């Protein structure tokens, strides 16, 4: 459609069409997946990319996945020439991934007699175990090799056929191979549905028009973000927040951000942030870019698609060897789930200074990761994150018991958890009063008590146990979280935010999640 004007109505039609592809891919993945993490929590993300590997559209899945996924697509394209029916699999965080449990599948879309791919589709799913030193593959570790099997970009499918040798190597390195096989096959099916839908669009509208409106959507997203930035006076502001600890003895870990606005562009400069850590809270650069782009997207009031255009006005400075851009082979399992949340908090704190009245107070700032499995075998491996409070905003109260920011997963029904593991949920409640006071108070966190019926290997990665979620504009901070172990003899033990431990039968773990910060001075003060 070279030289033809973009029809705004048709642009909206194609916006919905492209997003529908990603959404349907997600439905297929959810309905055909095996694990509660896929079927119930929906810990996966799907997106559509152009011929250059740039994002056109994504489903409303997990921001931490979606903002970093283009790096995985680029790694796949750099490593392989993809023929029809090929699918590349990877999870290496230093090849565009996030952490090892997140396995990404990338597939080309060929149409007509075009020589190369016209599009790509990709999905990323969190597998409940990919090997490593502890069930769930999300524990305390000192190096990447302890966190699970590492997959560089490799072809899991060639000309439509699954590479059984590669699949057998992958399954041999995990604790729950049948479940992993089922989830991986669901990912393959999701990509194939995405391919079929894009082929149908091209057959109906023609490749020129589908390509043209894909590019137009990227340009539109860029214009909207730049228009927001152009409203902000040129200058710079600084924000600092802290991770509690890395579980290996390092505490009060600074994430420092200098935000610079110049015209319709913005620079997120993390110079001065803490060096990379011995523990697993290191983030790779793709995670940091994902977090700042998400924070900037929150500030945009319009219903604009999130795609490659969203990223064009952004310059990221994340010095190598720091907690926001670790060097291989640093452990990174917690960087994806915990440090990404703190980077988001810092970015929003900076944006609140240049966009007063548009940014909420801090939300719970953690995913409260709980993983556990059989202590002496491979009978099961389970993973979930727990909801907390979101921050109050300039015109709204915070939400209670909700997954926030970089995660967008759902609650695991108690029935699904208890069916798959020797555990009972004895308490699941709202943590009343944990949200920060304010004109618009923060939402409350939750309380969840696990009663382990058998000897269990437990790992917890949680944050905001020391440094509370901040309030804004005079609002009070949210209440920090707490982790408590009740031993079989009835005695209680206050636990750190990060741990790996073998529990005796009859042990009970209670996780109380943080509340969100309040916004504005409370009424009457």
Cα distance between residue 438 and residue 440, in whole Å: 5
What would the pLDDT profile of 386-415 be if each residue is shown by its tens digit? 999 999 999 999 999 999 998 888 888 999
Cα distance between residue 323 and residue 256, in whole Å: 10
**What is the mean pLDDT of the segment spanning 104-115?**
93
Q: Give the number of residues written for the chain.
A: 525
Q: Give the model's pLDDT for residue 60.
A: 76
**Alpha carbon 352 to chain centroid, angstroms:** 23
Residues facing residue 300 across a β-bridge = none
Contact of 215 with 208, CB cutoff 8 Å: no
Both structure tokens of 99? 């952490």
Contact of 29 with 187, CB cutoff 8 Å: yes
Cα distance between residue 72 and residue 97, in whole Å: 6
CA distances from 211 to 153, 191, 219, 476, 503 (A): 26, 19, 13, 49, 55
**What is the mean pLDDT of the segment spanning 253-281?**
98
What would the pLDDT profile of 407-427 be if each residue is shown by its tens digit? 888 888 999 899 989 999 999
Across the chain, mean pLDDT equals 94
Please, which pLDDT band fits residue 476 given cuts at 50, 70 and 90? Answer: very high
Domain boundaries, the chain: 8-221, 360-525
Cα distance between residue 63 and residue 56, in whole Å: 15
Q: Name the nearest CA neighbour of 181 among 156, 201, 198, 199.
A: 156
Report the predicted TM-score, pTM, of the whole model to 2 decimal places.
Answer: 0.96
Cα distance between residue 289 and residue 266, in whole Å: 13
**Alpha carbon 479 to chain centroid, angstroms:** 23
pLDDT at 2 over 60: no
Cα distance between residue 514 and residue 476, in whole Å: 13
Neighbours of 486 (CB within 10 A): 17
Please, which pLDDT band fits residue 335 given cuts at 50, 70 and 90? Answer: very high
What would the pLDDT profile of 213-249 be if each residue is shown by its tens digit? 999 999 999 999 999 999 999 999 999 999 999 999 9
Q: Give the model's pLDDT for residue 63.
A: 75
Please tell me the least confidently modeled range out of 181-185, 268-272, 381-385, 477-481: 381-385
Q: Give the model's pLDDT for residue 525.
A: 57
Please, which pLDDT band fits residue 375 given cuts at 50, 70 and 90? Answer: confident
Q: Give the model's pLDDT for residue 377.
A: 66
- Range list of β-strands (E), 380-497: 381-384, 423-431, 445-452, 456-461, 482-486, 492-495
What would the pLDDT profile of 296-332 be if each residue is shown by its tens digit? 988 887 778 889 999 999 999 999 999 999 999 999 9
Please, which pLDDT band fits residue 483 given cuts at 50, 70 and 90? Answer: very high
What would the pLDDT profile of 189-211 be if each residue is shown by its tens digit? 999 999 999 999 999 999 999 99
Please tell me the least confidently modeled range out of 51-65, 107-121, 447-461: 51-65
Q: Give the model's pLDDT for residue 125.
A: 94
């Amino acid at each position: 459609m070279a030289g033809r004007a973009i029809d705004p109505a048709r642009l909206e039609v194609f916006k919905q069409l492209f997003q529908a592809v990603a959404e349907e891919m997600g439905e297929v993945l959810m309905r055909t997946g095996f694990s509660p993490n896929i079927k119930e929590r929906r810990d996966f993300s799907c997106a559509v990319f152009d011929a250059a590997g740039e994002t056109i559209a994504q489903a409303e899945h997990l921001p931490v996945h979606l903002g970093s996924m283009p790096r995985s697509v680029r790694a796949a394209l750099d490593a392989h020439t993809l023929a029809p029916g090929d699918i590349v699999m990877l999870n290496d965080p230093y090849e565009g991934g996030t952490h090892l449990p997140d396995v990404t599948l990338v597939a080309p879309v060929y149409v007509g007699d075009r020589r190369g791919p016209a599009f790509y589709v990709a999905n990323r799913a969190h597998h409940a175990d990919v090997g490593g030193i502890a069930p769930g593959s999300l524990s305390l570790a000192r190096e990447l090799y302890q966190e699970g099997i590492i997959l560089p970009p490799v072809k899991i499918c060639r000309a439509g056929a699954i590479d059984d040798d590669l699949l057998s190597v992958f399954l041999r390195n995990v604790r729950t191979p049948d479940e992993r096989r089922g989830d991986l096959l669901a990912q393959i099916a999701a990509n194939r549905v995405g391919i079929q839908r894009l082929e149908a669009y091209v057959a109906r509208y023609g490749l020129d028009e589908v390509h043209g409106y894909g590019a137009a959507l990227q340009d539109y997203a860029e214009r909207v973000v730049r228009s927001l930035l152009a409203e902000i006076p040129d200058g710079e502001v600084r924000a600092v927040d802290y991770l509690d600890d890395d579980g290996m003895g390092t505490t009060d870990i600074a994430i420092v951000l200098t935000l610079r606005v110049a015209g319709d562009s913005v620079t997120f400069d993390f110079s001065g942030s803490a060096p990379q850590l011995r523990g697993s809270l290191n983030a790779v650069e793709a995670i940091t870019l994902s977090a700042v782009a998400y924070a900037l997207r929150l500030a945009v009031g319009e219903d604009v698609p999130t795609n490659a255009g969203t990223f064009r006005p952004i310059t990221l400075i994340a010095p190598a060897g720091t907690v926001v851009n670790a060097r291989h082979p640093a452990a990174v399992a917690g960087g994806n789930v915990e440090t990404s949340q703190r980077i988001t908090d810092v970015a929003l704190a900076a944006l609140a200074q240049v966009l007063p009245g548009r940014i909420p107070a801090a939300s719970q700032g953690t995913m409260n990761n709980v993983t556990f499995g059989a202590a002496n075998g491979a009978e099961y491996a389970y993973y979930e994150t727990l909801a907390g409070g979101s921050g109050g905003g300039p015109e709204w109260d915070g939400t209670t018991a909700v997954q926030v920011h970089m995660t967008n997963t759902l609650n695991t029904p108690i029935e699904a958890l208890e069916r798959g593991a020797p555990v009972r949920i004895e308490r699941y409640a709202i943590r009343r009063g944990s949200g920060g006071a304010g004109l618009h108070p923060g939402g409350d966190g939750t309380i969840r008590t696990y009663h382990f019926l058998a000897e269990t290997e437990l790992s917890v990665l949680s944050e905001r146990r020391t440094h509370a979620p901040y309030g804004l504009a005079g609002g009070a901070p949210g209440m920090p979280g707490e982790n408590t172990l009740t031993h079989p003899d009835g005695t209680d033990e206050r636990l750190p935010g990060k741990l790996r431990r073998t529990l005796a039968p009859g042990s009970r773990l209670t996780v109380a999640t943080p509340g969100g910060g309040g916004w504005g001075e409370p009424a009457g003060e």
